[in-house]
Structure 1
Amino acid sequence: MKKLLLILIILSSSIFSQEKELYFKTFKPNYVNIGSTFEVSTVISFLDDKIDKAEFYILPGDDAVLKSAIVNNNGKKFKLPIQKKSFGEFLDKSFLLSLKDSLMTFNSPFQIILTFAAEKEKEIDIHFGLIYKMNDRRSAVYSSFEPADSPYYLEELRITPYKVQQIAGKALQFNQRGKINFHIDNDSWQKNILIEFWANFNSSNLKFLSIVGSEFSDTLLSLNYDDYQMIITDDINKLSNFNENFFGLKNWNHFSILISKETRNAAVYGNGAKLFEIPILLSQSDIELEFLNPANKKPFIIDLLKVWSFENDIEKSFSNRHYISYQADSSSNLFTYSFDEDDVLENFELSKIDFNNLSLVESDAPIYSRAPELNVKVYEKFFSIDWVSKDVIHALKFDLEKSTDGRTFNTIFEKDAEEDEEKIYFYSDEKNPKDEIVYYRLTQINKDGSKVFSAPIKIGLGLKDIFSLDQNYPNPFNPVTNITVEMFETAEVEIYVYDIVGNKIQKLHTGSLSQGTHTFSFDGTELPSGIYFYEIKSPFSTLVRKMILAK
């Protein structure tokens, strides 16, 4: 009960700082599998409890169906009946929940958990409407169709379902009394340790993770999935920077825990957003990472567990959470489990990892094949485009696409994928003088029919020029020449020399380059005569010039 009151205080502190007569906040899932159910949480509070009638409308459009509505009000959970009733002009597309129920009280915030079915492979737009009347005959109408700056606007939701990819493989299921314990040596991490994993829960009010000091078996941090379907900890009174959160049942969510030895502080994140921070009593002992499912709970699942000695920016982890592996130059991976091998449980036994009541199940987590990165080099009459596959196991073919507006892409080149990790794919696209701006994007079609897309690259006059590249002097040269770059503003750039087949010969510069003129010397003493290229590249543009070594 104490924890419930504290949660209500946290909710109320943000609610009653509002000047509106109604507080309305929604929480949507980040990841919804096509054909699955998903939950949306709405937190509502009327700042005047003299309510005679309140009607809550849900409009999920044609691409989702409202299945159920459960109210969480003052610690009581109960279902609300769903009626079909039009809201304004939206006939046969809206569902009504009558909020004037004998079990409800309006003098404190209450939560409504809405369960939908994603029936189509399309974006889902969910709108809301709310009508209430007071005892003194005052009334108000709120909706998602009001202007966003209106005091009567309710936030609308857009949800994009994902298609499960074969690369997701298998996941680890914790049956009743299921547990696993991972030992982490204190000497294996220096400043920070990062623990990240995907999780899918089937029941709430669940303490699913504990981090324990090995020496005295003292709990440093525990994570609970509570009745409000928030991630919280036992020591709720020690929390700082707490943010309201919600994680629906039967949906995948990504969690990260970053623990600092220097500050003795743990920051907990969900789907890339900070949930809270809490001080922890770190000692010099090793720690144990324990996942646990109690006896009376439905199974839950985890996938792609990674533990790092981490010294990068936390955003590095967030941007790579969908991929089985990634490189972090200042960090080292202590261990990663994707749980895809059939003998993973046997390997746990061989490694003397303590576990019980676990099983492997097919995973539908949003774990994706990594898309290639496009490189575009600008020449006088054409663009040279190249890429390397980052997933030769699952890639079937590549479609190189082009656009002049950044929205509509058309395929200009198709190429079957090869099972060669070092294979470089090339394409040359002739410049069209009518196109001031062009965009290139690569679509990788996988063997299971799924697709991943590279980030689009914008080339042309629509970009702000941040550097110019002069012709080298002398040219032809033997054996030394100078390459001059003028930076119009300070920026991160790379400058390389390549041979005629695209092999990197020498790095002239990588990193920040200040505004002004910079000259780099290139020595071809050890190289044969021939044509070479030098390139300057930033995240936004690339320039390439040709030079000739004549001995």
Structure 2
Amino acid sequence: MDKIINKYLQLLLLTVLLVSSAQSQRMPLYLKAKAPEYILSDSEFEVSLLLRMFDLNADEIVLHILTSDAVDLRGVKVNGKQKIFSLNKSGRFKKSFDIRFDLKDNFTNYESFLNIGLNLISAKYESSKIDFKVDYVKNKKIIRTYSADDFGSSEKAINKVNFNFYKPQKTPGKSILLKQDSEIKFSFNDKKETSNFLVEFWGRIDNPSDKFLSFINGSGKDTIVSININENKILSVKDIDKIKFIKEYFVSKNAWYHFSLFININNSSADIYINDDLILSIEIGSAFVVNNFEVMFNNSSAGKIEIDQLKIWEFNNTPRLSLANKNYEYYAADSSRLFLNLSFNDENQIRNFNSAEASLSFKGISFKNSTAPIFSRAPELNAYLYNGIYQLEWKNNSRKDADYFELEKSIDGNNYKKIFETFASNDPEKIYYFSDHKDVSNDVIYYRVKQINKDRSFVYSVSLKIGQGEIKLFNLGQNYPNPFNPQTTISIEMLEAFEVDIYVYDIVGEKVAVLNKGVLSQGIHTFAFDGSNLPSGIYFCEAKSEKSTDVRKMILAK
């Protein structure tokens, strides 16, 4: 293991030990469990445990791994070596997998700790959890037992682990498979712009892998950072000098992870995210050059690496936009340009190219059906009140996947009944409607749309809670045209006569125009907005009454 990885792991261990030592007066042990966020149902996955003991006045300890029928234990490794375990019945949980440790062999001093890897398999359930219990044994008698319930929530000496399993949809299509000695390489050839940019993709890495992903500076071909998975399944980094922030991250086999690299040219920095977590922030310096900047995937191990949904952006948004949309095939990013978008669904389009602006090459790749957690977008449900009747409407946000919709209703927010069904249309402008009489017998009612996809998977819209005063009094339309130069028209549909104020604000919140102030009658009203005296940029039109507010974004492009 090279010096950088050793230094990284030493820093990680030191952090754990310092935290543990500070709490040792009141905590007899420290057990930290880490699990993947996205777990395929009916498949194997891994959980990492870090165990450290403080009270050594015992002969052995017994670690109980408590599970339900939704999870089964297939194997255990302790510091990289196979460990025998036994299966017993448990009370509150259905199964207890027990692992025994001789303290003389495993915990020789106060500084000792164990790295325990659990190989588990999920059943066909939507969720589950595992809990842990530790017995102290002396002279073959249990003298003390600890579980997560014995510690306060702020102490976190033992943590429970919750699992959410998912079934893959057909939405992601195919992924690309890198076996040993395979690689993908992308580089900018002659790019003069100095925009920020973002590299994002979904990845699945089955085995420890050295430099499976590298980002290389165009100036002198110096590696900015390379990412590895070490033998403990901890993500580590190489080839970096100026680290601003680093966080250890466990990577399970068979699990998908969303990777994002955001390079901020103005700040001369690079940030790497996995799923929603920032795991590395480094300084790249003023010597960074976009020309010949290179992204390289490489599999030098005997394991397999899968890549899906590879995107490279000229990105002038916050990276949080990418993270918020990571589970969807497409998303819009204003002021950004999608430079490369590879979903790998059409094998004929995956080929080497070398243009004036960029080049892309593949070596030794193959294709397979993707199981990445890419899902169809749920419809967005809205409700309006017309003369005592609820007008419910929604649009199809996933035309490729949706087969039909079911509108459901509930009086308690838990138990829903279907009240309407309709087939999905391929028309991108189609709006689906349903009218329902106001339910005067209940203070609150709930609606939601269930979208059933062609592969029989389904997604739900956000539940719409409707109570007294919660129905919108108006519907603010999107301005047209948009973008505009310099004039545009804004329409508002008043569902009832009511007092409403309509203002236009710039991006920093300064009011630049008053379109209406006072009562508007029931019906459709239009207002003209002239941006002749305003600079190009983003503006917001806000309609506000005592009971509701609506906002539309407008783009003035001169």
TM-score (norm 1): 0.81
2:249 equivalent in structure 1: 245
Distance verdict in 2 for CA 1:355–1:64, change over 3 Å: same
Q: Residue 166 of structure 2 aligns to a residue in which SS?
A: coil
Q: Establish whether residue 10 from structure 1 lines up as the match of residue 15 from structure 2.
A: no
CA contact (8 A) 2:200 2:260 kept: yes
- Compute the displacement of 1:509 (Å): 5.0
Distance verdict in 2 for CA 1:247–1:462, change over 3 Å: farther
1:328 equivalent in structure 2: 333
Q: Residue 350 of structure 2 aligns to a residue in which SS?
A: helix
Q: Which residue, 516, 520, 523 being the options, matches 2:516?
A: 520
Q: Residue 345 of structure 2 aligns to a residue in which SS?
A: coil
- Compute the displacement of 1:126 (Å): 1.1
Q: Residue 273 of structure 2 aligns to a residue in which SS?
A: strand
Q: Which residue, 211, 217, 240 being the options, matches 1:213?
A: 217
What amino acid is aligned across from residue 16 of structure 1 in structure 2? L
How do 1:137-536 residues align onto structure 2 when only pairs under 5 Å count? 139-146=143-150, 148-149=152-153, 154-184=158-188, 187=191, 190-235=194-239, 238-281=242-285, 282-286=287-291, 287-294=293-300, 296-346=301-351, 353-461=360-468, 496-498=491-493, 520=516, 531-532=523-524
CA contact (8 A) 1:379 1:543 kept: no
- Compute the displacement of 1:230 (Å): 2.1
CA contact (8 A) 1:386 1:427 kept: yes
Matches of 1:334 and 1:262 in 2, distance apart? 20
Gaps of 5+ in 2: 476-489, 496-501, 527-540, 551-558
2:44 equivalent in structure 1: 37
Deviations 1:56-101 (A, max 9, x none): 11112111111111122xxxx10111101345x3576111011227
Distance verdict in 2 for CA 1:533–1:229, change over 3 Å: farther
Greater share of residues in strand: 2
Q: Residue 126 of structure 1 aligns to a residue in which SS?
A: strand
CA contact (8 A) 1:381 1:431 kept: yes
Matches of 2:377 and 2:32 in 1, distance apart? 34
CA contact (8 A) 1:254 1:321 kept: yes
CA contact (8 A) 1:459 1:541 kept: no
What amino acid is aligned across from residue 143 of structure 1 in structure 2? S
Matches of 1:509 and 1:408 in 2, distance apart? 42
Distance verdict in 2 for CA 1:429–1:148, change over 3 Å: farther
CA contact (8 A) 1:142 1:152 kept: no
- Compute the displacement of 1:439 (Å): 2.5
What amino acid is aligned across from residue 289 of structure 2 in structure 1? Q
The range that moved more, 144-153 or 435-444, is: 144-153
Matches of 1:189 and 1:110 in 2, distance apart? 50
Q: Residue 171 of structure 2 aligns to a residue in which SS?
A: helix
Matches of 1:102 and 1:336 in 2, distance apart? 56
**Cα RMSD after superposing both structures:** 3.6
What amino acid is aligned across from residue 29 of structure 1 in structure 2? P
User: How many pairs are equivalent?
Assistant: 498
Deviations 1:157-178 (A, max 9, x none): 2211111111111001111110
Q: Residue 272 of structure 2 aligns to a residue in which SS?
A: strand
User: Percent sequence identity over matched residues?
Assistant: 29
What amino acid is aligned across from residue 206 of structure 1 in structure 2? D
Matches of 1:323 and 1:401 in 2, distance apart? 24
Matches of 1:112 and 1:433 in 2, distance apart? 58
What amino acid is aligned across from residue 293 of structure 1 in structure 2? N
Q: Residue 94 of structure 1 aligns to a residue in which SS?
A: strand
- Compute the displacement of 1:196 (Å): 0.9
Matches of 2:64 and 2:240 in 1, distance apart? 34
Matches of 1:5 and 1:209 in 2, distance apart? 20
Distance verdict in 2 for CA 1:437–1:537, change over 3 Å: farther
Q: Residue 171 of structure 1 aligns to a residue in which SS?
A: strand
Deviations 1:351-370 (A, max 9, x none): 85222111111111111111
Matches of 1:45 and 1:4 in 2, distance apart? 20
Distance verdict in 2 for CA 1:15–1:134, change over 3 Å: farther
Matches of 1:460 and 1:26 in 2, distance apart? 43
Q: Residue 200 of structure 1 aligns to a residue in which SS?
A: strand
2:97 equivalent in structure 1: 95
Matches of 1:159 and 1:293 in 2, distance apart? 29
- Compute the displacement of 1:209 (Å): 0.8
CA contact (8 A) 1:41 1:111 kept: yes
CA contact (8 A) 1:12 1:109 kept: no
The range that moved more, 430-439 or 22-31, is: 430-439
Deviations 1:213-267 (A, max 9, x none): 2341111111111222222211477433322321101111111111111222211
CA contact (8 A) 2:236 2:248 kept: no
1:83 equivalent in structure 2: 86
- Compute the displacement of 1:424 (Å): 1.0
